[in-house]
């Protein structure tokens, strides 16, 4: 509150006699405003503990030297106080200090432009993405002994994905060797014709245009293969489809202070 109001007088000495009541008039003038909103994951779940900063911009020294910070609460809500009127700000993830936002990879959009007038800015939403953490999982996958499926990160089969194995090394017979294959309806693939005593890089096929247009990337991007005197089995490639965005128009009612920490929407196509 002290950031956003100027009190007149700023201080006043008051003498109160025993049993007396003293009225003191203090005038408050609003000199700064707040930006209120929520930090959520892309699925709408609240993201607490995310540090944000609003950096003033423009040619006015009063504006561009202004910076305010806030951290999202347990329900994902945040309030940036002390934003100056008639100033513009860039709202973004706080980057300084080691360990701050270390669990967050990025925000979407990376920056939000704020223009402060004579009232609070409400309903600002920041979507954040956590780092994709990898771990080793031990288990048993049953196959026909020849091939394992190509899957999404959730384990679902990904048919119609084109792969290529490019030979590497100094030996011309090896580095000129290239084989291709596409995953079947169950995600399985088989690259035939790989030469013995050669090494290959297995990756998504990039050409011609339109091939794998529904796939953003693979994890790992490349798999190293060393061919000996027998088939290589058990190779798994995880692929990520593009995250498709769309606009959804609707009405969200709030108490005028801030929007809900998350909103679930079901779409029927």
Q: What is the pLDDT of residues 25-63, one digit of tens each?
A: 989 999 999 999 999 988 888 999 999 999 999 999 999
Q: What is the pLDDT of residue 145?
A: 42
φ, ψ of residue 173 to 5 degrees: the values are: -60, -35
215 DSSP 8-state letter? E
Q: What is the pLDDT of residue 200?
A: 93
CATH number for 5-10+25-130 (one of 3.20.20.10, 2.60.40.1930, 3.40.50.11440, 2.60.40.10): it is 2.60.40.10
Q: What is the pLDDT of residue 238?
A: 86
In this structure, what token pair is assigned to residue 72? 């999202």
pLDDT tens profile 200-222: 999 998 877 778 888 888 888 89
φ, ψ of residue 265 to 5 degrees: the values are: -125, 130
Nearest to 214 by CA among 242, 188, 238, 189: 242
**CA–CA gap between residue 258 and residue 157 (Å, rounded):** 41
pLDDT surpasses 80 at 75: yes
pLDDT band at 247 (very low <50, low <70, confident <90, very high): very low
Helix (H, G, I), strand (E, B) or coil at 62: helix
pTM of the model as a whole:
0.48
pLDDT tens profile 99-152: 788 888 899 889 999 999 999 999 999 999 887 654 434 444 444 444 445 566
> Where does CATH 2.60.40.10 sit in the chain?
5-10+25-130
Nearest to 145 by CA among 234, 222, 263, 237: 234
Pairing of strands 198-204, 162-168: antiparallel
Give buried/exposed letters for 106-125 (b at 16+ CB in 10 A, else e): ebeeeebebebeeebbbebe
Work out the mean pLDDT of the chain and round it to a whole number. 82
């Amino acid at each position: 509150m002290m950031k956003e109001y100027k009190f007149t007088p700023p201080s006043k000495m008051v003498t109160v006699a025993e049993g007396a009541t003293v009225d003191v008039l203090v005038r408050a003038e609003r000199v700064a405003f707040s930006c209120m909103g929520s930090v959520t994951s892309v699925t709408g779940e609240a993201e607490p503990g995310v540090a944000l900063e609003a950096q003033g911009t423009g040619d006015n020294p009063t504006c561009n030297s202004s910076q305010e910070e806030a951290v999202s609460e347990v329900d994902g809500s945040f309030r940036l106080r002390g934003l100056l009127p008639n100033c513009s700000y860039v709202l973004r993830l706080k980057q300084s200090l080691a360990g701050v936002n270390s669990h967050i990879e990025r925000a979407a959009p990376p920056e939000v432009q704020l223009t402060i007038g004579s009232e609070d800015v409400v309903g600002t939403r920041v979507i954040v993405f956590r780092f994709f953490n990898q771990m080793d999982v031990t288990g048993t996958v049953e196959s026909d002994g020849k091939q394992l499926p190509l899957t999404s990160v959730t384990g679902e089969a990904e048919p119609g994905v084109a792969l290529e194995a490019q030979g590497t090394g100094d030996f011309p017979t090896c580095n000129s060797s290239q084989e291709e294959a596409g995953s079947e309806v169950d995600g399985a693939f088989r690259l035939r014709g790989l030469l013995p005593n050669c090494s290959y890089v297995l990756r998504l096929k990039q050409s011609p245009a339109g091939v794998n247009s529904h796939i953003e990337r693979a994890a790992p991007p490349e798999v190293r293969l060393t061919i000996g005197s027998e088939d290589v089995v058990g190779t798994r490639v995880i692929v990520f489809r593009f995250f498709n965005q769309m606009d959804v128009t609707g009405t969200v009612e709030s108490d005028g202070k801030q929007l809900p920490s998350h909103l679930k929407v079901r779409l029927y196509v």
